[in-house]
Structure 1
Amino acid sequence: MTAVHDESVATTSAEADERAADRLINHRDTDIELIPPDSLTAQLVGLYTFLPINGAAFVMQVMHPVIGDVVDKFSVFRKDPVGRAIRSADSVLRWTYGGQEAIEEGKRLRRLHQPLQMRNAEGKHISALNPEAYAWVIATAFPTMTTAAPLMLGREFSEEERKELLRDNRRIAKILQVPMKGYPETLEEFDEYFDDFIENKLVRHPVAVELIEQMRTAPPVPKTVPKPLRPALRKVAATASVPFQNFNYLTTVGVMDPRVREILGLGWTDEEQRHLEKIHARLRVAYRTLPERLTYFPLAYHARRHNDAIQAMKRREKKSAAYKYASR
């Protein structure tokens, strides 16, 4: 028997990889809406104080068994917690302020997570791109932002603001190439969706517990530091990091739904609540007096200034015309 080589169907491995990557993409560029630069989302996400709020979302994410198991096996959060946090913040900022780069970042993340597959303790094949789990990662931002409103703004969000935040949350889900089937569209649907996860799907995953404990532990000394200096640096880090650790822990745990804290076995006292509120009250005062350059991440700051400049140009356009027409 003679083998026939058909040039019309032959593909290179690179073409096959490209085709496989394309199958991961759920939304065309033209179907994706970017986050409006003057939105409430853009006002809040770029603040430095948003980091621990995002941390609360991350803890809730790994309470989903699939995400917790995948993170446990593949994440570098143990060896490089600071680096992981920085890279996560970089990605979140690009979704919100990156313009076209937001869309490319969404595709990159989808492809990055594709190889993260394994068998769990029960022998079941699981994947980081499990539709339910992948959608939950983005959904967690909405309840944490809603609960954090009194801390960041000094008041609750209005119903219209919550609707706007949910619209933006859905925009980010599409940017991240989340399959949108079953993703909540209304506040009522989201409440049902969130309740279902808490009551039926979230668990006290060891990774979630470890992340909480990590918040109260001084960051590891980099291996680049000479060995003789490491003991002294550990002592300095243990002392210097205490205020930030307390702030991070209180904000992370404080913005969680009480039912989530209960699943994790975390207590929460009135004293802790008062302490958290006092810290953020001082921060709100500081934020009203400090220039935005000191309160926003650089990408967020420049994106907001860019939008301000564009809006100023539009206002000038309304006041004058480029040409004068003779009256008839």
Structure 2
Amino acid sequence: MGDEPRVRPSPRPADVEPLGPDSLTWKYFGDWRGVLLAPWAGAMQNMHPGLGAGVAAHSRFFEERWQRLFRSLYPIGGVVYDGPGAAETARQVRGYHNTIKGVDDRGRSYHALDPDTFYWAHSTFFMLTLLVADRFGPGLGESEKHRLFDEHVTWWRLYGMSMRPVPESWPDFLAYWDRMASEVLEDNRPTREVLDIRHIARPPALSWMPHVVWRALRGPQARFTVWFTVGLFPPAVRERLGYRWTVRDERRLRRIGRVVHHAWRLVPFRFRYHPRARAGWEREAGLRAADAPHVESPERNSPLPDEQDSPKHYVPPTGWGTRSVRPVRRQR
């Protein structure tokens, strides 16, 4: 009897205290450096059999890569940064996955809200946060990694999902991560398509660049991005996908990480964060009203026209949702 595993009760999201500005997750998750890891997160997520099957059958991500990426940052970031509204944002994010289910081409049933599948996606966001801090930031000690793990559990509880797939501790999570990489993740078409960015459109930030210039830069940029992404994969994932990684590659990636870290220290604080994250920081500093509407994705990131009525999409309202913000006095 004493050896039976302890079952952790599934939480009521309304009872969960959301993460706040004293957390390491707030410090790193909404940081724009995370966009550097977007191909890594997409590939790691899609290698999960259930998640990859859902993307293959239900997503048109590859027709709107930039729009989907930047649109998704708002609700996903909101689960971390929306303060008192975080549980409601988490409920909305969970709701987008209700209809994503089916049977894959090997006869395996999948559902995006299967706890193991949903937790795998969540675990990649946690690891993205850790990698930003550890590989492209100041570095993390073991106590900080334990702290980030505990925070990711709080973050997960906001979804109201089963606690069954969540490891008990940071060492248990490392064992889980290694097992997923070596035994569960698969080489599949959605993963390969994430890594195939030879023909990717210009990112919105480079809309001023002539198309002919972007086409000339796209090839070298694609090769660098894949190399950079491969360097962050677990060794078992690199092997499964057929990539090589040398000691020289690792030294180069670590040098790049140090350059990114030192350059980022020169960026003013207000420019370091995604708009939804920045709104959270401003609210906590007293620069944004506590009941101000959420900052929403601009219309340019909206889903494809024939999919805007789909329940699986976050469809932002017109505008950024900032016009009704009331300036308030900074709290001392």
TM-score, L = length of structure 1? 0.75
Pick from 105, 121, 134 the counterpart of residue 121 of structure 1.
Answer: 105
Paired position in structure 2 for 1:21: none
Q: By how many angstroms is 1:54 displaced?
A: 4.4
Correspondences of 1:229-308 after superposition (within 5 Å): 234-241=211-218, 245=222, 248-308=225-285
CA spacing shift, 1:198–1:49, aligned 2, 3 Å? same
Tell me if structure 1 keeps the 8 A contact 2:29–2:129: no
Say how many residue pairs are matched: 279
Paired position in structure 2 for 1:207: 190
1:167 and 2:150 are equivalent in the alignment: yes
Pick from 163, 174, 178 the counterpart of residue 161 of structure 2.
Answer: 178
**Which structure 2 segments of 5+ residues have no match?**
1-9, 288-328
**Which structure 1 segments of 5+ residues have no match?**
1-25, 226-231, 317-328
Secondary structure of 2:156's counterpart equals: helix
User: CA-atom RMSD, angstroms?
Assistant: 2.9
Cα deviation code 1:172-206 (max 9, x no counterpart): 21223331113112112112222221232111122
Q: By how many angstroms is 1:33 displaced?
A: 2.6
Pick from 23, 29, 38 the counterpart of residue 13 of structure 2.
Answer: 29
Q: By how many angstroms is 1:120 displaced?
A: 1.2
Partners of 1:238 and 1:274 lie apart in 2 by 30
Tell me if structure 2 keeps the 8 A contact 1:41–1:168: yes
Tell me if structure 2 keeps the 8 A contact 1:204–1:264: yes
Pick from 64, 67, 70 the counterpart of residue 86 of structure 1.
Answer: 70
Paired position in structure 2 for 1:105: 89
Paired position in structure 2 for 1:139: 123
Q: By how many angstroms is 1:41 displaced?
A: 0.9
1:64 and 2:41 are equivalent in the alignment: no
Paired position in structure 2 for 1:49: 33
* Deviates further, 262-271 or 103-112: 262-271
CA spacing shift, 1:260–1:124, aligned 2, 3 Å? closer
TM-score, L = length of structure 2? 0.74
* Deviates further, 41-50 or 83-92: 83-92
Tell me if structure 2 keeps the 8 A contact 1:153–1:284: yes
Tell me if structure 2 keeps the 8 A contact 1:135–1:179: no
Cα deviation code 1:272-294 (max 9, x no counterpart): 43443343333322222221122
Q: By how many angstroms is 1:246 displaced?
A: 5.5
**Percentage of identical aligned residues:** 27
Aligned AA (1:74) = H
Partners of 1:129 and 1:257 lie apart in 2 by 25
Paired position in structure 2 for 1:196: 179
Higher alpha-carbon Rg? 1
Paired position in structure 2 for 1:217: 199
